[in-house]
Amino acid sequence: MPLYAAYASNMDPAQMLERAPHSPLADTGWLVGWRLTFGGEDIGWEGALATIVEDPGSQVFVVLYDVTPEDERNLDRWEGCELGLHKKIRLRVDTLNRSVLAWFYVLDAYEGGLPSARYLGVVADAAEAAGAPGEYANEIRTRPCTGLGP
């Protein structure tokens, strides 16, 4: 099965169980040479949405899932692929034991804009649920935001 790499709210295994029930968590790792950022403020309901961009000095924590074709179609709908919100790219992820090729959803919008405080909390909680280092989740929580949310 193809590997999907989640870097935002889909890092949360409980959320993925709802969205892709036949696709188990396979591993975690780091996308080296990329950074987590936000964009598409004009298309998000609460502000900018998570995406990744190339950045040689950075890395992004990701969760890898073995995705079935049926679950991939469900995820495509969740991510708004048919609306042109995201495109898929394939990149190498470094896990503890190996380097693997995985596909990512990348926002098809310019970088920039602020996410909501609620959304940052969701992404940080998802990172923690998946076993990301505490400093990584804290860095997400303390990013500039719109203040919308709890």
Evaluated on CA atoms 59, 60, 65, 67, the torsion sign reads: negative
Strand partners, 50: 38
Tens place of pLDDT for every residue, the chain, 150 residues? 689 999 999 999 999 999 999 999 999 999 999 999 999 887 767 889 999 999 999 999 999 999 999 999 999 998 888 877 889 999 999 999 999 999 999 998 889 999 999 999 999 999 999 999 999 999 999 999 987 655
DSSP letters for 97-146: S-EEEEEEEEESS-B-----HHHHHHHHHHHHHTT--HHHHHHHHTS---
Task: Tell me which H or E stretch contains 70.
Answer: helix 69-78
Q: Which of 93, 90, 25 is nearest to 59 (CA)?
A: 93
Question: Angle of helix 134-141 relative to helix 117-129, nearest 10 degrees?
Answer: 170
Domain boundaries, the chain: 3-141
Task: Please state the pTM of the whole predicted model.
Answer: 0.93
CATH superfamily of 3-141: Gamma-glutamyl cyclotransferase-like (3.10.490.10)
114, 33, 22, 35: which is closest to 66 by C-alpha? 22
Contact yes or no for 109/44 (Cβ under 8 A): no
C-beta of residue 77 within 8 angstroms of C-beta of residue 85: no
Is the separation of the CB atoms in 66 and 3 below 8 Å?
Answer: yes
